[in-house]
Amino acid sequence: MAVELDVFVGNTIIMSEEVYQLWLDGYTVNDAVKVRMEGGVLDEFDAKADVVLSDTMDQYRTFQMCERLLHSPTKLANQLLFQIPPHRQATLIERYYAFDDVFVREVLGKKLSKGTKKDLDDISAKTGVMLKSCRRQFDNFKRVFKVVEELKGPLVENIRQHFLLSDKLARDYAAIVFFANNRFETGKRKLQYLTFQDLAFCAGQLINNWTVGAVDNMVEDMDVDLDKEFLQELKELKVLITDKDLLDQHKSLVCTALRGKTKAFNEMEANFKNLSRGLVNIATKLTNTKDVRDFFIDLVEKFIEPCRSDHWTAADMKLYLTHYTNSAHILDTFKHQVVWDRYMGVIKSCIFKMYHD
């Protein structure tokens, strides 16, 4: 007695968010049925396995038919094939474009190419995210990347409009696109402790302050490419470490302000020149694409690790960086206040975010 055909179609789309999630996670129909049954679907309702199977099949088919539409979410709103209430449309899209932080952490900064796609099974094995789900997420990144690549205007706004995503998710995608475009190195062992959210926050800072879009908002790729002029200007900051007087003056100003306010004062005083050199060197090298890629690793190696080994607390860090930035304004021979602020503003918030275990 084989069931040859079994369909159930509603005038309004019939879906359960639980099954949708299972589908997104890449479960096969049979595995999904197993999960649902273990999840107690049967307890709350007197249903046999075949009933759950039939229901799961129907929903999987519906999702498969919807998938084509989900690739261009704006179509979902004016297509005629399925009648989907607006809140359901929003759920379908938001969930489809949602991703696993562990997965995205792996591909962050990598080229969204066929080559990377081939490595997905390794990533799947490493992260425990099912390959099918990895593919969906990877394709989503690629799709978003391709669409916004050629668009003018603010990145986050473009993503939100073309993919009807929530603000939070649109920002995350902007970060992913930004990382992929600038190919930031995030995979090194030293960076492993950073979560996607740490890096996404940093990307947001960079997008808002260092890109072309931060000064001009009608250029192509405005939020994806760093502001070249600004990077050139950063070279001027070199005086802070090359000019001996300036360096000493800066140090004494910072030390005066910090004295007595922290337990790590001695270490700060001892390391000041090293740390300052580290930060300014990062700034002056950013004209090199290679050094841009190493931006995060440099931050960690040149600044975060030394501080950590001296057992600075997060509060120490905040205190130090605030005074470090502000004291530069008092230096009378230092003329690059605007560039300094633009640079240090981002560095400060990035380091705050990244300074944890």
Partner 1 sequence: MPGKLKAKIVAGRHLPVMDRASDLTDAFVEVKFGNTTFKTDVYPKSLNPQWNSEWFKFEVDDEDLQDEPLQITVLDHDTYSANDAIGKVYIDIDPLLYSEAASVISGWFPIYDTIHGIRGEINVLVKVELFNDLNRFRQSSCGVKFFCTTSIPKGYRAAIVHGFVEELVVNEDPEYQWIDRIRTPRASNEARQRLIFLMSGELQRKIGLKVLEMGGNAVVGYLQCFDLEGESGLVVRAIGTACTLEKLSSGSGTHTHPNTAPASNACNSPSKDGKEPVFGEDLPSSSGPSTPFRALPTSSSSPPPFSPSKPCSRQSSSSDTDLSLTPKTGMGSGSMGKDAGPLKTLLRQQTQTALEQRQEFPFFTLTSFPSGFLLHVGGVVSARSVKLLDRIHNPDEPETRDAWWEEIRQEIKSHAKALGCHAVVGYSESTSICEEVCILSASGTAAILNPRYMREGCLDLGGSDQRFEDPSPSSCGFCHIPYDELNMPFPAQLTYCFHCRRQKVPDVLFTTIDLPSDAAIAGKGCFIQARLCRLKKKGQGEANATAISNQLPFMEYELHTQLMNKLKLRSMNALFGLSIQISVGENMLLGLASATGVYLTALPAPGGIQIAGKTPGDLNTEQHILNIQKRINDTIAKNKEFYEVNPPDLTEEVVGSPIPEPRLRSRLFRSHSESSDELSELDLSHGKKDAFVLEVDDTDAVEDIQSLLTDASPPKGFYSCNTETMPGIYNWTSALQMFTSVRVLRLSNANLSNQALNKVFTDLCENLLKSFYFKLRSMIPCCLSHLVFSVAVPEEDLIQVAVTAVAMTFDKDQTQDKPAEKPITKGCSEAEDQLQFSLELCTDSSSINSQSSSKNSGVPESSHLSTRDRCSTWLELLRLKAHTIRRGSVKTSRRTQSLAHSVSSLEHSSPLTDGRSRSLRSSRSFGGSSVSVVKMTPLSFLPGTRIVKYVGIINMFFIRETTSLREEGGVSGFLHSFVAEVFAMVRAHVAALGGNAVVSYSMKDCVLMENPNKNQCQCLINVSGDAVIYIRETDQEVTGSTANIRLSCTSSADGAT
Q: According to the binding rule CB under 8 A, does residue 82 interact with partner 1?
A: yes
Q: According to the binding rule CB under 8 A, does residue 85 interact with partner 1?
A: yes
> Binders of partner 1 among 34-73, rule CB under 8 A?
45-48, 50-52, 54-55, 57-58, 61-62, 64-65
Between vectors from CA 219 to CA 237 and to CA 202, what angle results, nearest 5°?
50
- The least CB distance from residue 148 to partner 1, in Å, is 19
Is 131:158 a contact under the CB 8 Å cutoff? no
Residue closer to partner 1 by CB (options 53, 159) is: 53
Q: According to the binding rule CB under 8 A, does residue 338 interact with partner 1?
A: no
Q: According to the binding rule CB under 8 A, does residue 9 interact with partner 1?
A: yes
Residue closer to partner 1 by CB (options 30, 289) is: 30
Q: According to the binding rule CB under 8 A, does residue 2 interact with partner 1?
A: yes
- The least CB distance from residue 309 to partner 1, in Å, is 56
- The least CB distance from residue 224 to partner 1, in Å, is 25
Q: According to the binding rule CB under 8 A, does residue 86 interact with partner 1?
A: yes
The alpha helices in 211-304, defined as continuous H runs, are 228-234, 239-242, 244-258, 265-285, 289-293, 295-298
- The least CB distance from residue 22 to partner 1, in Å, is 16
Q: According to the binding rule CB under 8 A, does residue 74 interact with partner 1?
A: no
From residue 105, alpha-carbon distances to 25, 199, 210, 270 in Å are 17, 9, 23, 36
Between vectors from CA 245 to CA 244 and to CA 251, what angle results, nearest 5°?
90
- Cα–Cα distance between 117 and 104 in angstroms, integer? 13
Q: According to the binding rule CB under 8 A, does residue 81 interact with partner 1?
A: yes
Is 343:237 a contact under the CB 8 Å cutoff? yes
Work out the burial of residue 83: count CB atoms within 10 Å of its CB; fewer than 13 is exposed, 13-18 middle, 19 or more buried. Answer: exposed
- Cα–Cα distance between 20 and 59 in angstroms, integer? 8
Residue closer to partner 1 by CB (options 52, 174) is: 52
Q: According to the binding rule CB under 8 A, does residue 5 interact with partner 1?
A: yes
Query: Cα 185 vs. chain centroid, distance in angstroms?
Result: 13
- The least CB distance from residue 52 to partner 1, in Å, is 7
Is 107:184 a contact under the CB 8 Å cutoff? no
Q: What is the size of the binding site for partner 1 (CB under 8 A)?
A: 39
- The least CB distance from residue 207 to partner 1, in Å, is 31
CA dihedral 345, 292, 350, 343 (to 10 degrees): -10
Please provide residue 213's backbone torsions phi and psi, each rounded to the nearest 5 degrees: -60, -20
- The least CB distance from residue 166 to partner 1, in Å, is 20
Q: Which of 30, 39, 67, 83 binds partner 1 (CB under 8 A)?
A: 83
Binding region for partner 1 (CB under 8 A): 1-12, 14, 16, 45-48, 50-52, 54-55, 57-58, 61-62, 64-65, 75, 78-83, 85-87
